[in-house]
Amino acid sequence: MEWMTIDIIVALGPVAGVLILSIFFIKSFISFQKETIAAILDTMKEDRKVFEQAVEKIDRRLEILERLFDKS
């Protein structure tokens, strides 16, 4: 399969070869960007969960303090 692709590129000439390689690299780069962005979004979702848990803990502690002050 690879040899056929190389033969076709050689037969079409250097300009076609450069064009085909350019398209290949662009597709590869776009695929890499998609994977990278997906990984970043997953990390951000995990960070959001941790942040939400921290806010809930702080809120609970504030409620306890408010109750203590109200009793005083």
Calpha distance 16→25 (Å, rounded) = 14
> What is the per-residue pLDDT across 11-49, written as a single tens digit (0 to 9) for each?
777 777 788 888 989 999 999 999 999 999 999 999 999
Residue range of the domain that includes 43? 2-71
Residue 70: which pLDDT band, with cuts at 50, 70 and 90?
Answer: confident
Domain count, the chain: 1
What global pTM score does this model have? 0.57
pLDDT at residue 29, as a whole number: 95
Instruction: Fill in the DSSP letter of residue 13.
Output: -
Contact by Cβ (8 Å): 17, 9 = yes
Give the side-chain half-sphere CA count within 13 A for 45. Answer: 6
The secondary element (H helix, E strand) that includes residue 72 is none
- CA–CA separation, 36 vs 29, rounded Å? 10
